[in-house]
């Protein structure tokens, strides 16, 4: 898949998935969700104040009969009821609506629901369709793990590979991003990049080709790689970028979406089911493509 048009066409061919939206009362969430419902990507369950949901649907001229509504008395109650549906096998996907990310994640991580494995790690994986890049580009973590340690980075690398494979990329190329390709002992991202690349070489990370440390320009621009004399199958042709911190990944996300005319999608990986957790500043289009991505990965 080279772009979101390809992604959407693939999602349409999948069996319809059951999605539950946590406190799905806001216009932005319902517009994106309604588009996915109309295209047959998902059938939708909404938790939240029934009266508020009905009012928003009426304002948007959305047919309320296309949805199953489970009344909730509070945002926390809405999250609990949505997560319990996942736990009971009555939904395949979960989406954050009008509820804070921390409240949503707190319920998602509750041990009694068993949605996250013991010692499991949740991580945000973004997929970007940028007109200035020759294919879809995946990266982590722009929204969940602030400063991942080596163990977390290894899991994040696996999530990136799994996401790429769900998009039809059999052996994705993963660049572990650092300020330089040199292995500099005093720079942790360089040391982690070298370690993860060596683990991939030894077969400890499977399913993709991982190289690092690698500067961003080398990872996504062949000319830069050639000028620097850096030879690697990943250089200039990366499918996935593993950023060292949330600072770097989040700035990359917002710079590309706001200034680079890129379209984004994103999910939370590492739980029993994919979770759509969009930023408050994300567009309806981003939320829609995030639903399509989650449906492919379910």
The full DSSP string for 130-179 is -TTSSS-EEEE-SSS-SS--HHHHHHHHHHHHHHHHHTT-SS-EEEEE-S
- Give tens-digit pLDDT for 174-205: 999 999 999 999 999 999 999 999 999 999 99
Tokens of 283: 């567009």
Could you tell me what percent of the chain has a pLDDT over 70? 99
Average pLDDT, the chain: 93
Give the HSE-up count for residue 298: Cα atoms under 13 Å, Cβ half-sphere. 25
Higher pLDDT, 251 or 285: 251
Q: With 70 as the cut, is the pLDDT of residue 280 above it?
A: no
- Give tens-digit pLDDT for 199-246: 999 999 999 999 999 999 999 999 999 999 999 999 999 999 999 999
**Bridge partners, 123 (sequence order):** 269
Least confident of 10-19, 95-104, 274-283: 274-283
Q: Categorize the per-residue pLDDT at 109 as very low, low, confident or very high, splitting at 50, 70 and 90.
A: confident
d(CA 49, CA 61): 18
4-116+271-297 carries CATH number 3.40.50.10950: yes
Q: Categorize the per-residue pLDDT at 161 as very low, low, confident or very high, splitting at 50, 70 and 90.
A: very high
Q: With 80 as the cut, is the pLDDT of residue 281 above it?
A: no
User: Domain locations in the chain?
Assistant: 4-116+271-297, 123-258
Looking at the chain, which runs of residues are DSSP E strands? 17-22, 42-48, 67-71, 93-96, 123-129, 137-140, 173-177, 209-214, 240-242, 263-269, 275-276
123-258 carries CATH number 3.40.50.10800: no
- Give tens-digit pLDDT for 90-103: 999 999 988 888 88
């Amino acid at each position: 898949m080279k772009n979101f048009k390809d992604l959407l066409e693939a999602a349409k061919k999948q069996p319809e998935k059951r999605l539950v939206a946590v406190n799905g009362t806001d216009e932005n969430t319902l517009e994106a969700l309604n588009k996915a419902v109309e295209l047959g990507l998902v059938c939708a369950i909404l938790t939240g104040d029934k009266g508020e949901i009905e009012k928003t649907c009426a304002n948007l001229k959305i047919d309320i009969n296309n949805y199953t509504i489970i009344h909730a008395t509070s945002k926390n109650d809405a999250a609990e009821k949505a997560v319990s549906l996942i736990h009971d096998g009555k939904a395949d996907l979960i989406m954050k609506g009008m509820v804070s990310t921390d409240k949503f994640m707190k319920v998602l991580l509750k041990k009694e629901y068993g949605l996250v494995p013991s010692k499991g790690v949740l991580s945000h994986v973004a997929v970007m369709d940028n007109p200035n890049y020759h294919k879809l580009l995946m990266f982590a973590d722009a929204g969940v793990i602030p400063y991942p340690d080596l163990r977390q980075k290894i899991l994040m690398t696996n999530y990136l590979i799994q996401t790429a494979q769900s998009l039809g990329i059999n052996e994705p190329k993963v660049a572990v991003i650092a300020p330089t390709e040199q292995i500099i002992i005093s720079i942790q991202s360089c040391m982690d990049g070298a370690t993860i690349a060596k683990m991939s070489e030894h077969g400890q990370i499977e399913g993709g080709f991982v190289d690092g440390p690698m500067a961003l320009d080398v990872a996504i621009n062949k000319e830069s790689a050639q000028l620097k004399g850096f030879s690697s199958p990943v250089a200039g042709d990366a499918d996935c970028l593993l950023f060292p911190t949330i600072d770097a990944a989040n700035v990359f996300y917002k710079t590309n979406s706001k200034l680079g005319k890129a379209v984004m999608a994103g999910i939370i990986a590492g739980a029993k089911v994919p979770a759509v957790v969009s930023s408050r500043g994300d567009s309806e289009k981003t939320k829609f493509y995030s639903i399509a991505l989650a449906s492919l990965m379910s």
